[in-house]
Amino acid sequence: MTAFEPWMLLVVSVVVFCIGLLGLILRKNLIVMLMSIELMLNAVNLCFVTFSKMHQLLDGHLTVLFVMTVAAAESAVGLGLVIAMFRNLRSVDSDQIQLLRD
Amino acid sequence: MITSMILFPLAGFIINGFWTLWAARNGSRVSSRVSGAIATSAMLAAFVSAWLARSQLPASGSTEVEIFRWFTLGSLSVDFKLRLDALSSLFTLVITGVGALIHLYSVSYMEEDEGAGKYFAYLNLFCFMMLNLVLGGTLPQVFLGWEGVGLASYLLIGFWYREEANVSAGQKAFVMNRIGDLGFLIAMFIGYKYSGSLDLATIEKVVLPAGVGTSFVLLVFLACTGKSAQIPLFTWLPDAMAGPTPVSALIHAATMVTSGVYLLARLSPVISQSTTGMTVIAGIGAATALITAIIACFQSDIKKVLAYSTVSQLGFMFVACGVGAFGAGVFHVMTHAFFKALLFLGAGSVIHGLHGEQDIFKMGGLKKKLPVTFWTFTAGWAAILGMPPFSGFFSKDEILHQALVSGSGSVILFSVLLIAATLTAFYMTRLYWLVFFGGPRMDKSKFDHAHESPVAMALPLVVLGLLSLAGGFAGEPVHLPHPEAVRSTPAWIIMVVSVLAAAVGATIAYRRYSAGAVSPEAARDVFRIDSIYSSLFGGGLKATASATQWLEERVVQGLIRLVAAITDLSGNMIRVLQVGSAQAYLLMMIIGLVVMVIYFLKGVAQYGNF
Amino acid sequence: METSSSLSFLLTIPLLAMVISWVIPKALQRLYAIFGSALILGLTVYETAGILFSATSEAAKVFFVDQRLEWVSELGMSVGFRLDGVSAWFLILSALTTLVAFSTRGSWYRKQPRLFVSMGFFLLFALNSAFLATDLITFYLSYEAVFIPMIFMVGVWGENQKASAVFRFFLMSFAGSILMLVAMFQIMSMHHAATGQWSSHLADIMKVVPNAPVESLLWPCVGFFLAFAIKVPLVPFHGWLKEVYVNAPMPGTIWMSAILSKLGVVGVIRFVIPLFPAVIKEYQGPLLAVSAVSVIYAALLAIRSSEGKTLLAYSSISHLGFVMLGLFSLSAEGSNAGVLLSVGHAVTSAMLFFLLHQVEERSGNVDLSTSKGLASNYPTLFSGLFIAVLASVSLPGTLNFGGEFLVLLNAYRASALCTILAATGVILGAVYMLRFFQKLGLGTPGSANHADVALKKDLSFADLLMVILLVGIVIYGGINPGIFMKG
């Protein structure tokens, strides 16, 4: 078994980020889209931690804490919005929500 | 004295104006007698001031009273000051004297009119402005008076403002006067440019370069043609008869229309510098005198005949100015003020007596019914004909004499005036005869109800009648430089010729209208000048305005529509991208991001770092 | 009085009035607005009295208040204000105009009156700030801030075609402003290139820019000029005006014609002529010609107008053409005369629109195609209107005469031809203004609206006071126009 290398974590991070991105673009359910955003954020967090490890700096850890806080707030607001939308439109399908067009 | 002279009419205007306005607001009416008494006493007081001011005037020279500084700008400063000399003094006496008489006459004439308060306020305003015109010590102040009398004239012509035609006549007068005022304005600019001042005392002495001098004179004369109703701007005056008759007597016969002569006499040192300008003035004056005398022969409205006659007489005065005999012109202004005011007031008395009838072919035989009017009218008639010893004889004869003998005079000028004088005798005798002699040609009841005017109207007639009779013996009231005589024609020959001419004209009229029944003549528009003007200038203005409107709608608005269309089009193009799906936007964003990353990475590859 | 505190006082008091308006009950808004603006007018006169009524014009030139605060000093942005003889008059005019505009009656006091009153006070603030600004960025911000309340005015309380009017107004004015902003950046960077420092203050820029080569100044000058030419407006940049004036509610029209147009005049006096003297000198002929053409062109359009508001809108352009003629005569006298005429035009047009509003209230419309013959029903209203008409045709003895006469007198020395051309506007002015008055007031009373008319009364006492105030200014200014010409 080869030794653990930080770049492997970076690959994982990229893969997770791409999954999140594709999910965000392709899935129509707003809740799933929010989850995809969480995936992308966590991929970035992983990236930060990895770089922090590689450069022996604490900045990355610190940023991750910030990102996690903001992400928590964001998902709370996001879920709130989704619920509000569901109440009004009876749907969480992003294709149905096109009110700003024109 | 000089200041109080202008303050009295101003006070009268303010009192009557505010009173009328206040009454109108509260739905009540101003007593015509009280407001008339206020206005008339203001004018009487002004007349006394004018008389006293004249008596205190130094034998030669002038008095100046500075009232306040009007405006200052850079090197220019214009004072509001009054300047009294022999010339302006004569005008103030005529304005306040004849003015006071006409005010008195109006008290009775306007008694039953509900707008009497307004009427007297306007009349006082007019006198105030007219005094400003003749007393102004600076050109802008003269211009204040010049435009101010135009305003008062506009208000009084359209006095009965419920009739559309009256208002339009006032408007026509105002606009035509404004054309002249444009000349006044530009003449002021020229004067300022070359003398650096707008004081009359300085402008009078300025020596202008030849070409500039001519344009200055022509511009001043343009102003005069507007105000004094000369060719080409004379057509407003006959229409101005829409106003009350005393107004026609005061404004459109005795005072305002002579302000052109005043201006020329005032600026005579500058005016005489330009021979071309003088020739034009004399030529236009003679042409006006003749043409309007011809038109007057074809009128049937008593006031219209007198209006055209006024224009014609003003032509005489301008010929006098044009040949350099400013003194003779001013002399005729004075005598004309007496006899023309008299004739108008007499006409007013006739109209009043006949309850509004103005057609001379519906009058006749009024000699017995209106004795005072008849006898005073006779004096006016004799004066305008130039019968010795009536006042008109002296002044008209002087003009004819100067037109022949002075350097810029000529036989042509003289003969044109002589023909005009003959025609004057013709149309005045025609009018005189048709109104007072023969059988009555109106309804019997109307004739029976015809009555002589009350004392307040008769008194001014008598005073003016006496002045028309004796006013000529005063001789030339102002001594202005005389032109040199180049032809020596004895004065008595000219006198005889002019009296003969008048006699011929009067005889023809007498023979034509005294014999048997008179068939009514409809008024004929002989030269159609009015309709030509209205199609030429009215139409021209309309066409220009329409063309401008077309330009506005098609080009300028088109320009805006173009800008709007470009904005619209670009919006529509970009709008395609806005599909409404958040995921589509996200995709676009990512594509953009990828493109940017590739671009920057290329940069890294090329230069090694950012 | 001439301390810098008076300056900030003059700027903050409209803002204060705006804030207070939010707690005033709706029913009292009109009363509050009138008293508030009258108070501001009084305070403005009081605060500027030292500058305006000092004994001589020389003293007035020395008496000014200058204030400068650093804002973003790295970019050289500062906030600069200066109170002098010219800006003081415009401050008073904007307060007076606001008072007149607030004295109207109409839908704006029924539908969202708080918004109306607060926007009015905000407009006053923005105007004052623009008139006082000596810093390019400050000026630009205030100049743009003026749009906000105006767009509300037209958009919320406007007439039928308000959408299109707002669109045009915004499009044209904003196009001008953007050009001006670009020109500002251009001359700021010229200043930077010359001195190595960023500054947007006029005093700094004046040291560098006017001496730069003419070719490099042409485009900045065009940028500024276009912005102001649209604002004033000069023909052919006036396309937005008619629709906006006609569709704006009456107070909006009063503000626009009386005072917003003066932003352009002040802009030309304060920026275009001092910053680009060489360019203006070179193009003086065309500029004078454009001004003269404005006078004639707008007058001809006014002659063709069949609606009262449209006619006054065009007459406004025509008179402002005279103002620009004075400014472009490029003499101190000419520009003083231009300021005098601007003051006259502001007072006269505020009065004309105010009284037209009163007529409209009584007869329902101000259509000129049929005679109304209203004068005998409303003697004081029409006496006031007649005096306003006389002032508008600049009869001697009214405020406008001094301005128009001195403008033409000075312009004549610059170009006789353009002056004569412009002076024919005097005749055309008489034609359309008299027609305007005749159609509304004189002639036989129309039958259509007569029954309706008889019910309503002449000017109310408060409105009469307002008219007396304006007439007083017009007549006093006619007798002593010198008072408006120090600075």
pLDDT digits (tens, 9 = 90+) for B230-263: 988 898 999 999 999 999 999 999 999 999 999 9
pLDDT in tens, B526-555: 788 888 888 888 888 888 888 988 888 888
DSSP bridge pairs for C135 = C201
pLDDT tens for chain C, 487 residues long, are 445 567 788 888 999 999 999 999 988 999 999 999 999 999 998 888 777 766 455 544 545 667 777 777 667 777 888 887 788 889 999 999 999 999 998 889 998 999 999 999 999 999 999 999 888 888 999 999 998 999 899 989 988 888 888 888 888 888 889 999 999 999 988 888 888 888 888 888 888 888 888 888 999 999 999 999 999 889 888 888 888 888 999 999 999 999 999 999 999 999 999 999 999 999 999 999 999 999 999 999 999 888 899 999 999 999 999 999 999 999 888 888 999 999 999 999 999 999 999 988 888 778 887 767 888 888 899 999 999 999 999 999 899 999 999 999 999 988 899 999 999 999 999 999 999 999 888 887 765 554 455 557 888 888 999 999 999 999 998 888 877 775 4
Say whether the B–A interface has 3 or more Cβ pairs within 8 Å.
yes
- Phi, psi values for residue C446, rounded to 5°: -70, 150
Distance CA B336, CA B331 (A): 8
Beta carbons of B155 and B232 less than 8 angstroms apart: no
Distance CA B538, CA B551 (A): 20
Q: Where does A7-96 sit in CATH, by number?
A: 1.10.287.3510
Cβ–Cβ below 8 Å for B162 and C443: yes
Say what the pLDDT of residue C289 is.
95
Nearest CA in chain B to A25: B583
Instruction: Name the H helices within B454-536.
Output: 455-470, 491-514, 529-533
Contacts of A100 in chain B (CB under 8 A): 580
Beta carbons of C402 and C344 less than 8 angstroms apart: yes
Banded pLDDT at B15 (limits 50, 70, 90):
very high
What is the interface size between A and B, counted as CB pairs within 8 Å? 24
Q: Decide if B579 touches A, using CB distance below 8 A.
A: yes
Cβ–Cβ below 8 Å for B580 and A98: yes
Say what the pLDDT of residue B610 is.
46
Contacts of B556 in chain C (CB under 8 A): 235-236, 238-239
Contacts of C482 in chain B (CB under 8 A): 69-72
Contacts of C481 in chain B (CB under 8 A): 70-71
Nearest to C119 by CA among C37, C42, C231: C37
Structure-block tokens of residue C299: 């007058």
Distance CA B84, CA B61 (A): 9
Residues 24-63 of chain A with CB under 8 A from chain B are: 24-26, 28, 33
Cβ–Cβ below 8 Å for B167 and C443: yes
- Give the DSSP H or E segment for C65: strand C65-72
Nearest CA in chain B to A101: B580
Contacts of B174 in chain C (CB under 8 A): 430, 434
Distance CA C126, CA A2 (A): 72
In one letter, which amino acid is B248? S
Distance CA C82, CA C11 (A): 11
Say what the pLDDT of residue B48 is.
95
> Is 80 exceeded by the pLDDT of residue B601?
yes
Residues 57-96 of chain B with CB under 8 A from chain C are: 68-74, 76, 80
Cβ–Cβ below 8 Å for A26 and B580: no
Chain B nearest CA to C406, separation (Å): 8
* Winning range, highest mean pLDDT, from B139-143, B203-207, B401-405: B139-143
Going from N- to C-terminal start, the domains of chain A cover 7-96
In one letter, which amino acid is A78? G
Q: Decide if B580 touches C, using CB distance below 8 A.
A: no
Q: Percentage of chain B surpassing pLDDT 90?
A: 50
| Interface mutation target, options B578, B583, B585, chain A, most CBs of A under 10 Å | B583
Beta carbons of B329 and B317 less than 8 angstroms apart: yes
**How large is the average pLDDT for residues B411-415?**
91
Cβ–Cβ below 8 Å for A95 and B590: no
Q: Decide if A21 touches B, using CB distance below 8 A.
A: yes
Cβ–Cβ below 8 Å for B581 and A98: yes
Chain A nearest CA to B579, separation (Å): 7
Contacts of B572 in chain A (CB under 8 A): none
Name, in order, each residue with C-beta under 8 angstroms of B329's C-beta and a sequence gap of 6 or more: B261, B264, B265, B317, B318, B320, B321, B399
Say what the pLDDT of residue B556 is.
83
Nearest to B345 by CA among B173, B523, B465, B166: B465
Name, in order, each residue with C-beta under 8 angstroms of B441's C-beta and a sequence gap of 6 or more: B361, B362, B363, B364, B518, B520
- Give the DSSP H or E segment for B68: strand B63-73
Contacts of B580 in chain A (CB under 8 A): 98, 100-102
Contacts of A101 in chain B (CB under 8 A): 578-580
Q: Decide if B412 touches C, using CB distance below 8 A.
A: no
Q: Decide if B586 touches A, using CB distance below 8 A.
A: yes
Structure-block tokens of residue C216: 């490099």
Residues 54-93 of chain B with CB under 8 A from chain A are: none
Distance CA B286, CA B280 (A): 10
Going from N- to C-terminal start, the domains of chain B cover 332-525, 528-573, 577-610
Contacts of C416 in chain B (CB under 8 A): 189
Residues in chain B: 610
Cβ–Cβ below 8 Å for B559 and C236: yes
What is the interface size between B and C, counted as CB pairs within 8 Å? 144
Cβ–Cβ below 8 Å for C397 and B193: no
Cβ–Cβ below 8 Å for A25 and B580: no
| Interface mutation target, options C412, C424, C440, C450, chain B, most CBs of B under 10 Å | C412
- Phi, psi values for residue C56, rounded to 5°: -120, 165
DSSP bridge pairs for C201 = C135
DSSP bridge pairs for B136 = B82
Q: What is the ipTM of this complex?
A: 0.91
Structure-block tokens of residue C239: 């396309």
Burial, C425: exposed, middle or buried (Cβ in 10 Å; 0-12, 13-18, 19+)?
A: buried
**How large is the average pLDDT for residues B484-512?**
86
Say what the pLDDT of residue C382 is.
92
What does pTM read for this prediction?
0.88
**Rg of chain B (C-alpha set):** 32
Q: Find out whether the peptide bond into C113 is cis, omega within 30 degrees of 0.
A: no
Say what the pLDDT of residue B549 is.
87
Distance CA B266, CA B270 (A): 9
Q: Decide if B557 touches C, using CB distance below 8 A.
A: yes
| Interface mutation target, options B572, B577, B581, B590, chain A, most CBs of A under 10 Å | B581
Say what the pLDDT of residue A102 is.
58
- Phi, psi values for residue B138, rounded to 5°: -130, 155
DSSP bridge pairs for C367 = C307
**Rg of chain C (C-alpha set):** 22
Chain B nearest CA to C153, separation (Å): 22
| Alpha carbon C255 to chain centroid, angstroms | 7
Say whether the C–A interface has 3 or more Cβ pairs within 8 Å.
no
| Alpha carbon B471 to chain centroid, angstroms | 24
Structure-block tokens of residue B555: 């080009």
Say what the pLDDT of residue B188 is.
93
Comparing CB atoms, the residue among C304, C333, C430 nearest residue B546 is C304
Against chain C, the chains showing at least 3 CB pairs within 8 Å are B
Contacts of B190 in chain C (CB under 8 A): 412
Cβ–Cβ below 8 Å for C442 and B147: no
Chain B nearest CA to C238, separation (Å): 8
**How large is the average pLDDT for residues B580-586?**
82
Q: Coil, helix or strand for C363? A: helix
Comparing CB atoms, the residue among B575, B581, B590 nearest residue A94 is B581
Cβ–Cβ below 8 Å for C303 and B541: yes
Cβ–Cβ below 8 Å for B578 and A102: yes
Instruction: For chain A, list residues with pLDDT below 70.
Output: 1-2, 100-102
Say what the pLDDT of residue B185 is.
93
Contacts of B579 in chain A (CB under 8 A): 101
Q: Decide if A94 touches B, using CB distance below 8 A.
A: yes
Nearest CA in chain A to B571: A102
Q: Decide if B563 touches C, using CB distance below 8 A.
A: yes
Name, in order, each residue with C-beta under 8 angstroms of B7's C-beta and a sequence gap of 6 or more: none
Q: Which residues of B17-55 are buried (b: 16+ CB within 10 A; e: fewer)?
A: bebbbebbbeeeebebeebbebbbebbbbbbbbbbebbe
Cβ–Cβ below 8 Å for B581 and A21: no
Say what the pLDDT of residue C487 is.
44
Q: How many CA atoms lie within 13 A of B359 on its CB side?
A: 11
Rounded alpha-carbon distances, angstroms, from residue A24 to A40, A91, B73, B139: 9, 17, 75, 85
Q: Coil, helix or strand for B455? A: helix
